[in-house]
A and B are shown apart, each in its own frame.
Chain A
């Protein structure tokens, strides 16, 4: 069990550029979540997948944000035309859902910190 890994750990970009983050969940986990966290705030839900299906997307998420999990394993989060307000830590988490048993316990990666200049 290597844990949840995220790449890159840090990204500095200029406003208007596109960025993509990758998340590799714990291998047997079927649920994958993306959260965003800014300084002094708790993580804010963005979207989540069960296997390859995107089950929910936050209403706060603009159309510039898109996430995929094409084979039910790793996931990518792309932000198009970045804005300074997108600067945050982007956290990926995974969990395992058994039929009828879902503790809701999430295991987080170390995060990808985005700075938009």
Chain B
């Protein structure tokens, strides 16, 4: 069973702080990694994708990938209350037919 593991949280950070969300995956050969944000009662929306080792930045968001450690993270700088949501890590496994395998998500709460 190929798995994506996330801490379910909740992760609480004060407004303006950096939120760090982590994800590990089981298939060493995986090539594509995604972070989705899901507000309560809403559908997931794509925030970041990353395919190569290292960092990828987009505005306040930075995705980090370490394939040797099978680890993906998402950093949110200057966290805002509107960032409060569940963050889902998703992986496309090798031979997985391009379907995403999701983790259970980490709930983030940004407090005033």
Contacts and interface: CB of A to CB of B under 8 A. Distances in A.
Contacts of B88: 42-43
Interface string B54-85: 00000000000000000000000000000000
A56 interface: yes
Interface residues of B, number: 22
A87 B90 CA distance: 23
B20 interface: no
A44 B4 CA distance: 12
A40 interface: yes
Nearest to A44: B102
A43 B92 CA distance: 14
Contacts of A45: 99-101
Contacts of A1: none
Nearest to A42: B102
A66 to B, nearest CB: 18
A116 interface: no
A44 B101 CA distance: 7
A102 B98 contact: yes
Interface string A56-95: 1000000000000000000000000000000000010001
A8 B86 CA distance: 24
Interface of B: 4, 8, 32, 34, 42-46, 49, 88, 90, 92, 97-105
Interface of A: 31, 33, 35, 40-45, 48, 55-56, 91, 95, 97, 102-111
